[in-house]
């Protein structure tokens, strides 16, 4: 069996599942694994490092993959757009910022252009810009995001953008989430946390273990990790990650973190080098509840499809025809 939606047609894929371009985690191997399994892998260009991008595109080998970049960061390194487009990605996804300056350059290429949104106004802008697909991202997503939650946000975006395929993101890591997203009117899903602990993911061993052992209650949004990493994110978005001793120390004292920045950055960087996840950022979302093991990405994706099919059949059986007697009434 398979689940076929207009998004599958648009992107030329078998299953309506995209790998979220997790910065530094969704490398070429993971993107390729998701694509070979029938979805579409997007490598996570993040803040943009030409060497990293070249290496990870190479690591994807012959796989047909796409890429995702952080828009406000791309604006500071616009040459990276050419680097990415020269690789002829199946799709380019931009998130967090103003993509208007890049529209005409992107439109010169064959790549499908996907924009991720966190508000209804952003969805309207993306529709007006003529994007090929829109990711409606809920606040339960790992990494950067806004305040809306996936379940009510997706149908509201669908009502606005109508015929443009909407991809649900945030909180989706198994077949139940995929089935729910389709029920909400989405044409597919974008999954980060679900693939974070994949064998092919570039996350560290301890980060994968922390994510698998943790749960959604243990994640929260804050700016702590952005400040510690010296990233000047616009105030519209902050980052969801696992709570740990570092976030507990600074969560309620951002001013204090800023005052102690050199020492705290050094401590954070040392912990990163040592893979100490009680201090570094394990960037997963509430779907941490639903990831139970390290495994190849293909196993995750195929289980997701098969579970979604099972759930769609199961809930289909809940719909009962009215009996003859009632029809006669």
Q: Does 12 bind its own copies (CB under 8 A)?
A: no
Question: Per rule CB under 8 A, is residue 159 in the interface with its own copies?
Answer: yes
Report the residue number, 79 or 326, with the smaller CB distance to its own copies.
Answer: 326
Sequence-distant (6+) residues with CB within 8 A of 172 are 150, 178, 180, 181, 189, 190, 191, 194, 287
Residue 15 CB, nearest distance to its own copies (Å)? 11
Euclidean distance between CA atoms 138 and 153, whole angstroms? 7
Which one, 105 or 314, has the nearer CB to its own copies?
314
Mind giving me the DSSP string for 8-54? HHHHT-SSSEEE---TTTS-HHHHHHHHHTTSEEEEEEET--HHHHH
User: Cβ closer to its own copies: 318 or 328?
Assistant: 318
User: Do the beta carbons of residue 253 and residue 284 sit within 8 Å?
Assistant: no
Encoded one letter per residue, x for contact with its own copies by CB under 8 A and - for no contact, window 272-311 reads -------------xxx-xx------------------x-x
Per rule CB under 8 A, is residue 68 in the interface with its own copies? Answer: no
Question: What is the size of the binding site for its own copies (CB under 8 A)?
Answer: 55
- Show the CA angle centred on residue 97, arms to residues 91 and 100, nearest 5°: 70
Is residue 234 close enough to count as binding its own copies by CB under 8 A? Answer: no
Q: Determine which residue in the list 59, 75, 129, 149 makes contact with its own copies, applying CB under 8 A.
A: 149
Establish if 179 lies at the interface with its own copies (CB under 8 A): yes
CA 78 to mean position of chain CA atoms: 22
Q: Is position 139 an interface residue for its own copies (rule: CB under 8 A)? A: yes
Residue span binding its own copies (CB under 8 A) among the ranges 97-105, 180-188, 225-233, 243-251: 180-188
Question: How far is residue 67's CA from residue 9's CA, in Å, rounded to a whole number?
Answer: 19
Tokens of 123: 């969805």
* Shortest reach from residue 196's CB to its own copies, in Å: 14
Residue 165 near its own copies by CB under 8 A: no
**Six-digit token pair at 4?**
């076929």
Place of tokens 């997203």: 181
Spatial separation of the C-alpha atoms in residues 236 and 272, rounded to whole Å: 26
Task: Please pick, from the candidates 82, 147, 275, 278, the single residue that binds its own copies as defined by CB under 8 A.
Answer: 147
Instruction: Decide: is 133 part of the binding site for its own copies (CB under 8 A).
Output: no
Identify which range of 90-98, 266-274, 293-301, 312-320 contacts its own copies by CB under 8 A: 312-320
Strand partners, 112: 91
Q: Does 176 bind its own copies (CB under 8 A)?
A: yes
**Interaction of residue 265 with its own copies, rule CB under 8 A:** no
Which of 199-215 are b and which e, b meaning 16 or more Cβ less than 10 Å from the residue's Cβ? ebbbbbeebbbbbbebe
Residues at the site binding its own copies, with contacts judged by CB under 8 A: 1-5, 119-121, 138-140, 147-153, 155-156, 159, 170-174, 176-177, 179-185, 215-217, 220, 285-287, 289-290, 309, 311-313, 315-316, 318-322
């Amino acid at each position: 069996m398979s689940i076929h939606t207009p998004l599958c047609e648009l992107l030329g894929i078998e299953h309506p599942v995209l790998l979220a371009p997790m910065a530094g985690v969704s490398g070429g191997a993971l993107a390729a694994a998701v694509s070979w399994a029938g979805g579409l892998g997007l490598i996570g260009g993040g803040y943009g490092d030409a060497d990293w991008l070249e290496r990870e595109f190479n690591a994807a080998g012959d796989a047909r993959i796409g890429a995702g970049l952080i828009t406000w960061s791309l604006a500071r390194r616009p040459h990276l757009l050419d680097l990415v487009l020269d690789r002829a990605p199946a799709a380019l996804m931009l998130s967090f910022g103003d993509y208007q300056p890049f529209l005409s350059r992107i439109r010169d290429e064959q790549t499908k252009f996907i924009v991720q949104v966190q508000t209804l106004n952003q969805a309207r802008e993306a529709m007006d810009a003529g994007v090929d697909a829109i990711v409606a991202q809920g606040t339960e997503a790992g990494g950067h995001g806004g305040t809306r939650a996936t379940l009510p946000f997706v149908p509201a975006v669908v009502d606005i953008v109508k015929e443009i395929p909407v991809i649900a993101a945030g909180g989706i890591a198994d077949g139940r989430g995929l089935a729910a997203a389709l029920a909400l009117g989405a044409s597919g899903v974008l999954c980060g946390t679900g693939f974070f602990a994949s064998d092919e993911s570039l996350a560290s061993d301890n980060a994968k273990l922390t994510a698998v052992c943790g749960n959604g209650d243990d994640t929260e949004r804050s700016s702590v990790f952005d400040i510690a990493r010296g990233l000047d994110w616009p105030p519209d978005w902050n980052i969801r990650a696992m709570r740990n001793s570092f976030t507990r120390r600074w969560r309620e004292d951002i001013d204090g973190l800023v005052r102690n920045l050199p020492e705290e950055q050094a401590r954070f960087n040392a912990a990163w080098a040592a893979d100490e996840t009680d201090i570094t950022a394990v960037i997963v979302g509430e779907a941490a509840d639903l990831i139970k093991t390290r495994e190849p990405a293909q196993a995750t994706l195929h289980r997701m499809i098969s579970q979604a099919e099972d759930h769609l059949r199961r809930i289909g059986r809940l719909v009962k025809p009215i009996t003859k007697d009632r029809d006669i009434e």
